[in-house]
Structure 1
Amino acid sequence: MKGFKNFVMQGNVIDLAVGVVIGGAFTALIGAFVDNLIQPVINVFGGQNPAGLAFRIIQGNDGTLVDIGAVISAVIAFLITAAVVYFVFVLPISSARRLDRKRRGLPEEEETPISEDIVLLTEIRDALTARPGSAAQPGGTTPQV
């Protein structure tokens, strides 16, 4: 039971749980915003068509409805969600972690350099594929016949 308690109390698990709950509520909010404010504006471009930018491939068959406006609305909802998540959650948390590292006197996180092993393996791969009679060209591409 102690191991389970340690697992649940890890910061990553709690962060994930909070993210899922907030994400669910936020999805409903963005969905309502797009369905009730953005979708009607997009449907204006459908002209006199009562379905907006939607059309039926076969008249009278609801299964053949192609709703371009709904796709555009979904893209807009995704972009709004991604922007809000980035500016409200990711950016402030990243800044807070950077400040915390600075306050504790830890070095800034740097990008991991490419290891010498990866560079060496890449050179070996390119040398093997560059041999006469090799089926592949350097860079991992194969010639078309």
Structure 2
Amino acid sequence: MEGFKKFLLRGNLIDLAVAVVIGAAFSSLVNALVSSFITPLIAAIGGKPDFAHMYFTINGAKFTYGVFINALISFIIIAAVIYFLVVKPASMFVERFTKAVEASERDCPECLSEIPDKATRCKFCASEVTPTAA
């Protein structure tokens, strides 16, 4: 029971739970925006009073494509927000961090292992190398 308690009280598990709840709330907010404002504008352009109730029938089967288009627009908005506010900034941060690491190492001319720029001897093959200017 103690292990289960530690598992539940881990910081990353609580952070994940909070992220899921906030994501669900954000999703419902975007869905409301799409169904209340965006698709009625599209419907007004198309000449229908309510875009969500647009459908067509084939052999008595009703296909509600308006609901699908609402969901598609919501998905695109959520994906764009996640990309521009989470993925892109995180990628830029990782790129900056890796550039700093790459700039501080070079390849040994003898064994081609990565060694620090200021090294005078390779830690893998023990050959003497000239330090690069930093």
TM-score range with shorter-chain normalisation?
Answer: 0.5 to 0.7
Aligned to 1:66: 63
Report the CA distance shift for 1:43/1:21 in structure 2 as closer, same or farther (over 3 A). Answer: same
- Of stretches 73-82 and 2-11 in structure 1, the one that deviates more from structure 2 is 2-11
* Alpha-carbon separation, structure 2, partners of 1:95 and 1:5: 37
Match of 1:57, SS state, is strand
Over alpha carbons, which structure has the higher Rg?
2
Match of 2:46, SS state, is coil
- How many Å apart are 1:26 and its aligned residue? 0.3
Report the CA distance shift for 1:94/1:85 in structure 2 as closer, same or farther (over 3 A). Answer: same
Is there any run of 5+ residues in structure 2 with no aligned partner, and where?
Answer: 103-134
Report the CA distance shift for 1:93/1:7 in structure 2 as closer, same or farther (over 3 A). Answer: farther
Report the CA distance shift for 1:92/1:18 in structure 2 as closer, same or farther (over 3 A). Answer: farther
TM-score w.r.t. length of structure 2:
0.54
* Alpha-carbon separation, structure 2, partners of 1:84 and 1:16: 18
Mapped pair 1:83 → 2:80: yes
Report the CA distance shift for 1:39/1:22 in structure 2 as closer, same or farther (over 3 A). Answer: same
Report the CA distance shift for 1:24/1:70 in structure 2 as closer, same or farther (over 3 A). Answer: same
Identity of aligned residues (%): 44
Aligned to 1:23: 23
Q: Is this contact kept in 2: 1:42–1:69, CA < 8 A?
A: no
Higher strand share: 2
Post-superposition Cα deviations, 1:29-49, rounded to whole Å, max 9, x if no partner, equal: 1011101111102212432x4
Q: Is this contact kept in 1: 2:27–2:78, CA < 8 A?
A: yes
Aligned residues: 99
Is there any run of 5+ residues in structure 1 with no aligned partner, and where?
Answer: 109-145
* Alpha-carbon separation, structure 2, partners of 1:18 and 1:93: 19
- The RMSD of aligned alpha carbons is 3.4
